[in-house]
Chains A and B, each alone.
Chain A
Amino acid sequence: MEVITHLDIVSSILEQIIYGLMTGGIYAMIGVGLSMIFGVMRLSNFAHGEFYMLGAYLTYVLVSYMKFDPYVLAPLAAMFVGFVGIIINKILIKPLYEEIGRARGTAAFYFQDLRFILMTVGISIFLYDLALVVWKPIPIRVNTALSDMIIRVGPLSFGGQRIVTLIIAITSLITLYIFLKKTRIGKAIRALSQNPSAAMLVGVDAPKIYDITVFIALMLAGLAGGIVGPIFNLYPRMGLDVVPKAFVVVILGGIGNIIGSIYAGFFLGVVENLGGYFLGTEYREVIGFVLMILTLWLRPQGLLGIRR
């Protein structure tokens, strides 16, 4: 009798870890984009979660019009989100950037930071309320052909859509990893986030790279939104709820460490699910923040980072 309960606990912990990896994949996709934008543009994008929300709702709209599988339509919605991001960047962020660029190096830098944060907070609230007005605060579930499929591995069983989401998340993150490591643009992105002035000295076209970074980062966030539709309910607050987690991921991964935030995303997902399992789900939301405050306090260079 006792043996069976032990097995039960082990298998449900295993299940929590797999679910954690799945949520972690989503966190990693959002967090890595946030980390990229922060690294390259020195911009903390509080509106990042809203693009995730936008990706989710656009996929839902596309699915209800075109009657295709959400997994096919999510990349399309993600591209669109990326373009929306570029437009917002051009209209609202760039002029601010140029205005402040003239004051760079002065004591005023501190406050300029605040101005950027407030701008993205404004954009975030705007997009959130727009979604609230357009789609109403009713939870929506996107259906896929995979919803009824159940995959059994030993004593564990998972919905097919969860596995597909995890696969898509991992695939897109590996693609991003290769892109950042191997291609010219990827190298320019990393160079800008490591040392902006040196990168510009060797001829990196910063404004162009900014646009590309914004596009890639927001596309990833939009894709993450698109592939959660079959798993979680969509609701207008989903972006606001996820953005603190994305920041937690950035901080755990080490500030300015783009690759680190990929690992940190998976880590947070697993810790959150296990913590929710042991402490009760109502405290799930708090775990990430406690981790973050502890990290900032004790290991500001991130969990994997090296102290500079």
Chain B
Amino acid sequence: MLGLSSKTLKETLPLYLLGITVFSLIPLFASEYIIHVMIITFIYMILASSLDILVGYTGALNLGHAAFFAIGAYTSTLLSMRVGVSPWLGLIIGGFLSMIFGIIIGVPCLRLRGPYLAISTLGFGVIIYVLLINLEWLTRGPLGIPGIPPLPGFGSLNFTNRITYYYFAMLMSLTSILILKLLTISRFGKILIAIREDEEAAKAIGVNIAFYRLAAFMISSFFAGLAGGIYAHYVRYINPDLSALGESISVLTKTLLGGFGTIIGPSIGALVLTFLEELLRPLLEYRFLIYSLIIILIVRFLPGGLYSILARYLSTQHSILAYFKWWSYGRDLKSK
């Protein structure tokens, strides 16, 4: 129907089932602390996978992805605190407002490639950061907004309870990843890949490149905004640092570590790096030293990311692997 290949689904399904089983069982024996870290991980999983549909599938390096996250968080927060909108609705509106910003930045970026796109998105991130700090009547500036209301519960479901929120975040995260994954293995994703690999050829067979590129921007920013809302109503305190360059870099590192163009890879990267970060918390100063070393080493030696190792065990004929093959094209030529 959507041009989904049942083969790809069959191959990624075991991973999902494994993920759902393991994640559902964690609260049964894990401590409160681990559950907290896992909730943050779920949020980062959405963020990293949403970045992947843009970077991995259209090749557009976004250095301001955290700005979309912050827009979602601020929208949902301000709507629920100032206007009195239900946080549930706020989450969705946050996602859509973030998507509108995705269009605003996406349209001028349609013509840009490589470094210009990267620097423009970096500029967008800085603009949002400066606005969040300076629009004090709206955002309280650098002080941030404390006391954000939690998500209201249904019946016996109480979202101030950590375990309930854990399952909620898990559901949101896995659903988002599934939607993104389905999108990328559908006809839509194949067209994105076609544009990424040979824009001229795609244009020649009648693909509306601007539309697909903008669509990738919109989808990516929507899920980032959604993740921002989920974060805001969990931590219940937000400040402009959410949109800082460091945040964007850390999301990018997660995506890169997991493997571009795989959707599932970035969530693995998010899982690994969030826990690594918690372990390294005493070495807070050195956090970015480690991030940067990971970036340098992955780019140099493992351009396919962690997923490329995993994929080798899953299947050699894996369609997602096409991406990795593409990465190592130069190496293949050499061996020939």
- Of B86-94, B145-153, B164-172, B323-331, which stretch is located at the interface? B323-331
Segment at the B interface, from A10-18, A184-192, A261-269, A292-300: A292-300
A208 at the interface (CB under 8 A from B): no
Q: Is the CB of B296 within 8 A of A119?
A: yes
> What's the A-B contact tally at a CB cutoff of 8 Å?
142
On whether the beta carbons of A129 and B289 are closer than 8 Å, the reply is: yes
Near A by CB (< 8 A), chain B positions 113-130 give 113-116, 118-120, 122-124, 126-127, 130
In the bound complex, do residue A247 and residue B292 qualify as a contact, i.e. CB atoms below 8 Å apart? Answer: no
Beta-carbon nearest neighbor of A47 in chain B: B292
CB pair B123 A114 closer than 8 Å: no
**Pairwise interchain contact B330-A103, C-beta atoms closer than 8 A:** yes
| B36 located at the interface, meaning its Cβ lies under 8 Å from any Cβ of chain A in the complex | no
Of the candidates A108, A285, A292, A297, the one whose C-beta lies within 8 Å of that of B326 is A108
Q: Is A201 an interface residue (CB 8 A)?
A: no
Scan A116-139; emit 1 where CB is below 8 A from any B CB, else 0: 011101111110111011000000
- Residue from A122, A282, A285 having most chain B Cβ neighbours under 10 A: A122
> Which residue in chain A gives the minimum CB-CB distance to B295?
A122
Partner of A289, one of B112, B127, B245: B127
Chain A residues within an 8 Å CB radius of B119:
44, 244, 247-248, 251, 292
Cβ of A114 and Cβ of B59 under 8 Å apart? Answer: yes
B196 within 8 A of A: yes
Q: Is the CB of B289 within 8 A of A126?
A: yes
| CB contact list, A272-304 vs B, under 8 A | 282-283, 285-286, 288-290, 292-293, 296-297, 300
Most chain A C-beta atoms within 10 Å of own C-beta, residue among B59, B116, B198: B116
Let me know if A4 is at the binding interface, CB within 8 A.
Answer: no
Does the CB pair A244–B122 fall under 8 Å?
yes
How close is A109's CB to chain B, nearest CB, in angstroms? 9
Contact at A125–B292, with CB atoms within 8 Å? yes
* Closest-CB distance, B293 to chain A (whole angstroms): 7
Say yes or no for B299: interface residue by CB 8 A criterion: yes
CB–CB B118/A283 < 8 A: no
| A126 nearest CB neighbor, chain B only | B292
Smallest distance from the beta carbon of A217 to chain B beta carbons, Å?
15
- Residues on A with C-beta less than 8 A from B196 are 110-111
Interface of A: prevailing SS: helix
Query: Chain A's nearest CB lies how many Å from the CB of B141?
Result: 10
B251 at interface, CB cutoff 8 A: no
- Are A293 and B108 in contact, with the CB atoms below 8 A? yes
Alpha-carbon distance A129/B246, docked complex (angstroms) = 11
Find chain A residues with CB under 8 A from B285 CB. 129, 132-133
Cβ distance B24 to chain A, nearest Cβ, rounded Å: 35
Once bound together, how far apart are the Cα atoms of A102 and B291, in whole Å?
A: 29
Fill in one digit per residue for A244-255: 1 if any B CB lies within 8 Å of its CB, else 0. 100110010001
* A121 pairs with B111, CB closer than 8 A: no
Q: 7 new A-B pairs (CB below 8 Å) besides A113-B113, A129-B288?
A: A44-B118, A101-B330, A108-B326, A111-B59, A122-B292, A289-B126, A293-B123
**8 sampled A-B residue pairs with Cβ under 8 A:** A44-B115, A101-B330, A107-B198, A117-B61, A118-B295, A244-B122, A251-B116, A293-B120
A contact set with B: CB distance below 8 Å: 38, 44, 46, 92, 95-96, 99-103, 106-108, 110-111, 113-115, 117-119, 121-126, 128-130, 132-133, 240, 244, 247-248, 251, 255, 282-283, 285-286, 288-290, 292-293, 296-297, 300
Chain B interface (Cβ within 8 Å of chain A)? 55, 59, 61, 63, 108, 111-116, 118-120, 122-124, 126-127, 130, 133-134, 196-198, 245, 249, 252, 256, 260, 285-289, 291-293, 295-296, 299-300, 303, 326-327, 329-331, 333-334
Closest 4 CB pairs of A and B: A44-B115, A122-B295, A289-B123, A103-B330
